Amino acid sequence: MATAETFYDVIRRQGITRRSFTKFCSLTAASLGFGSGAATAMAEALETKERVPVIWMHGLECTCCSESFIRSAHPLVKDVVLSMISLDYDEMIMAAAGHQAEAILEETKAKYKGKYILAVEGNPPLNEDGMFCIDGGRPFVEKLRWMAEDAMAVIAWGACAAWGCVQAANPNPTQATPIDKVIHDKPVIKVPGCPPIAEVMTGVITFITTFDKLPELDRQGRPKMFYSQRIHDKCYRRPHFDAGQFVEEWDDEGARKGYCLYKTGCKGPTTYNACSTVRWNEGVSFPIQSGHGCIGCSEEGFWDQGSFYDRLTNLHQFGIEADADKIGLTAAGIVGGAIAAHAAVTAIKRVTTKREKADA
């Protein structure tokens, strides 16, 4: 591995003159409202700061996170990979293989102890001592623990690493386990979604490299800047929700008019993600804009929450699947029946008691 380039090196390598570089620093400092010293500080930081080494590992997953990541438009993923970070290891896209690849891990661990970011796509299965995911001749869970030991922080990409996703869905035969349940002594940044939005992924990385600190996380360990509001809070169909205008059935008049998808099971009201603000594919659209409800892909256990077309979870405990209203109504009906019967018995008893008393 070559010595790490600084940001300045990268900027110069891209053909930018020193003059434009200083200009960029002062303009950026001014536009961000920083004081007069900031431009110099910024220039110095970029000149001296090494790019953050990133190790990207893959456990049980489908690679949709990588697929999403490489489509980032702002910033372009090439800028992230080639300029902002030093992506030293990624089984998916690196040229090295076998022992050569393993050597990179050893080297990073030793050389950048406590400085590199471990980005994990997918999760480790723990059943049978982790035998369901073997990577480089040993269980993935071991490799994960080993690399996490010396990392600065761990990024848990996607629903798999953050929550478990489909491989952890009931009955979870391999006991696939989210990263934060395996790595306890390092900050774990969850970036859920199936996949996460490309710009959210690069955004998290940009934040870390730019400010040299980890983004503020919410209670669930997700970066607040992308996950503190629900799809529903920023959905452009929200006025139809408040008005009480819903798509009642697919392809009805309401669907044509772009009404709210609440009744067709939209999970926007319970889903924290940036789709309704950042959108997908360079901001072209997102599921709701295309006429389908949100399926809550960035939420915990979204595969086990029943149909994509029900807002509330079906409850399997009741033998057959039933929703909260069916159960409630049935129970109320049974109770009502029991009351009627009880009242009838009460009345009969009363009459017979009176008769007994009269007879006596």
Partner 1 sequence: MTLHETLPADTHDEKAIERPSVYVYDAPVRIWHWGNAVSILTLALTGYLIGSPLISVSGEASANYLMGRIRFIHFAAAQTLTVLLILRVYWVFVGNVHARQIFYVPIWSGRFWKEWSHEVRRYMFMTRQTKKYAGHNPLARFTMFLLFTLPLFFMVITGFALESEGAGRDSWEYVLFDWVFSIWPNSQDIHTNHHLGMWGIVIFVIVHIYVAVREDIMSRQGIISSMISGERFFKDMED
Q: Pick the closer one to partner 1 by CB: 44 or 248.
A: 248
Task: Assess 25 for contact with ligand SF4 (CB under 6 A).
Answer: no
Binding window for ligand SF4 (CB under 6 A); candidates: 33-41, 79-87, 135-143, 269-277: 269-277
Task: Assess 233 for contact with partner 1 (CB under 8 A).
Answer: yes
Buried-exposed string 264-285: b where 16+ CB fall within 10 A, e elsewhere? bbbbbbbbbbbbbbbbbeeeee
Q: Pick the closer one to partner 1 by CB: 47 or 218.
A: 218
Which one of 75, 136, 269, 291 is in contact with ligand HEM (CB under 6 A)? 269
Q: Pick the closer one to partner 1 by CB: 239 or 283.
A: 239
Residue 270 touches which member of ligand HEM, ligand SF4, partner 1, none, C-beta under 5-8 Å by kind: partner 1
Report the nearest approach of ligand HEM to the CB of residue 313 (Å).
10
Task: Assess 68 for contact with ligand SF4 (CB under 6 A).
Answer: no
On the CB side of 265, CA atoms within 13 Å amount to: 15
Report the nearest approach of ligand SF4 to the CB of residue 288 (Å).
5
Report the nearest approach of ligand SF4 to the CB of residue 310 (Å).
13
- Give the x/- contact pattern for ligand SF4 in 148-177, rule: CB under 6 A: ------------------------------
